[in-house]
Amino acid sequence: MIETLSSDLVFWSRAQFALTAAYHWIFVPLTIGLVFLIAVMESMYVRSGNEFWKRCCKFWSRLFAVNFAMGVATGIILEFQFGTNWSNYSWFVGDIFGAPLAIEGIFAFFMEACFIAVMFFGWDKVSKRFHLASTWLVFVGTCLSAWWILVANAWMQNPVGTQFNPDMVRNEMSDFWAVAFSKTAAVKFLHSVLSGLMLGAAFVTGVSAWFVLKHREKKFALSSIKLSSLVGLAATLLLILTGDMSAYDVSKNQPMKLAAIEGLYKGGTSQDLVAVGLLNPDKKTYNDGKEEFLFKISFPNMLSFLATRDFDGYVPGISDIIEGGYTNSDNQRALSFEEKQLKGRQAINSLALYRQAKADKDTAAMNIHARELNDNIACFGYGYIDKAEDSVPNVPLCFYSFRLMVLLGAYFVVFFALMLFLSKRDMLHKYRWTQYLAIVSIFLAYITAQSGWIVAEAGRQPWAIQDIMPVGIGVSSVSVSGVQTTFMIFAILFTVMLSAMIGIMVKQIRKGPQN
């Protein structure tokens, strides 16, 4: 039977995974965004025959290669951690979670690896069109990799297409297509790819601005900025649309996450969307009677519209979700935490009785307990949570991370529009502050991307799998000191790798485009 392990072990296992994921996400979005821009540049080269665009492609490809290698290294370590630190989780959902990761490795990453060799070494060895096709296929492979990884992540957020096998004590896939093409996965994919395009565009714009600042490679720099700022502006505007789609999806499947993002403790109809606010640090639990905010500025009724597509729609807060009784998105009465906890404990007990009946070869009892288990399995994870407040994510972390992401997203709309205007008018060199701003914006783009993932992952806590498995029962039965030691090793290793990547990139940037 699955047991909850020590809080220290859970904390350090989560910290190690978060560390690896955060470093991995430094490299992934740049891979997506940079290879897209390279493919567009090469398309312009093939169409025009202008060697200038080939020169641009080769320069940006060198930077892409360094980033891609680091992304592969951190990604492999990330996947290994499912077996080393999260073996209970891997056993419980391996049939579902492992499938998209296997598909990603066998098909998507394999296609990436094959055509990336042509992209790097195939200049003047294959035809222009074959090389162009290879570059675009690297982008397609990168997107397919992202798709299958996000399918796995989306299933953790919204577990669909599966059934519980009491004989094996694990979830098994019952509908591959429901898992592979869920709405949650589609929204996550679109938002993540567009985030990658935005970050890639910010990177190209910032590096190119450095050349303008140093009075080097003016044509190369301005041409790169024109293209990247156009792509960045389009991607950032589309991110607003996919962000709205994501919020709507979260409201249906993870209402507690939405409530945490908004700092909404007591919901209702016609709910306002908080634009800027300062949470009350003295408010510790959902029922302590203290005010949620010290101050806030809100958009009237906008949260209701985002969550329900109705300005007067009902949005539950943290207290409402815990107390239950309202009508949820499925037009059913929402269960309270206590009701879910009771059903979860009934499911756990039914599983134990089923396995005992199986050992006793009592078929009639097995059937009874299997039905009881099936009736309560949707709340299985609540049986492992002791207190209602333990089902609430870290509200300040979710609230502020979300607003930082949105604020920077709005900033990038203005930034890319400004850079596009100045580069097209050949005025960028006149305003040195814009060149410095572009360089700083590289780091702001990374902060934006990381903030988005903090919201997505911290917002679903305490769940490894929404409503099914809390993180406390997903970890491996290993020593806390062992996890602490490997955490420090990974922290040092990843920092050295990142420093090395930055050093190599800076060296390549200083060399500039070469013939």
- Is residue 343 in a domain? no
If one counts the domains in the chain, the total is: 1
SS percent in the chain: helix, strand, coil, step 5: 75, 5, 20
- Is residue 282 in a domain? no
- Is residue 379 in a domain? no
Read off the tokens for 504: 């190599």
Residue 4: predicted pLDDT: 53
Strand pairing report for 293-299 and 469-470: unpaired
Q: Please give the residue range of the domain that contains residue 218.
A: 7-259+395-504
Read off the tokens for 511: 């060399």
Question: CA 399, CA 458: separation in Å to the nearest integer?
Answer: 10
Tracing tokens 């050295």 back to the chain, one arrives at 496
Residues 6+ apart with CB under 8 A from 421: none
Please give the chain's pLDDT, 515 residues, in tens.
455 557 889 999 999 999 998 998 899 999 999 999 999 999 999 999 999 999 999 999 999 989 888 888 888 888 888 888 888 898 888 888 888 888 887 777 778 778 888 988 888 899 999 999 999 999 999 999 889 999 999 999 999 999 999 988 888 898 999 999 999 999 999 999 999 999 999 999 999 999 999 999 999 999 999 999 999 999 999 999 999 999 999 999 999 999 999 999 999 999 999 999 999 999 888 888 889 999 999 999 999 999 999 999 999 999 999 999 998 877 889 999 999 999 999 999 999 999 999 999 999 999 999 999 999 999 999 999 999 999 999 999 999 999 999 999 999 999 999 999 999 998 888 899 999 999 999 999 999 999 999 999 999 999 999 999 999 888 888 889 999 999 999 999 999 989 999 999 999 999 989 76
Q: Are 257 and 398 in contact (CB under 8 A)?
A: yes
Chain centroid to Cα 304, Å, comes to 24
Among 150, 205, 163, 274, which Cα is nearest to 438's?
A: 205
- Is residue 273 in a domain? no
Q: Are 365 and 350 in contact (CB under 8 A)?
A: no
Q: Can you name the residues that pair with 276 across neighbouring β-strands? A: 297
Residue 3: predicted pLDDT: 52
- Is residue 299 in a domain? no
| H and E: helices and strands count for the chain | 16, 8
- Is residue 313 in a domain? no
- Is residue 453 in a domain? yes
User: H helices of 360-390, where?
Assistant: 363-376
- Is residue 363 in a domain? no
Residue 362: predicted pLDDT: 92
Q: Are 63 and 33 in contact (CB under 8 A)?
A: no
Q: Which amino acid is at 298?
A: S
Among 228, 158, 229, which Cα is nearest to 187's?
A: 158
Q: Which amino acid is at 499?
A: S
Residue 496: predicted pLDDT: 92
Residue 100: predicted pLDDT: 86
Query: What is the sign, positive or negative, of the torsion defined by CA atoms of 492, 495, 501, 502?
Result: negative
Question: CA 108, CA 267: separation in Å to the nearest integer?
Answer: 43
Q: Which segments within 105-175 are labelled E, that is strand?
A: 162-165, 170-173
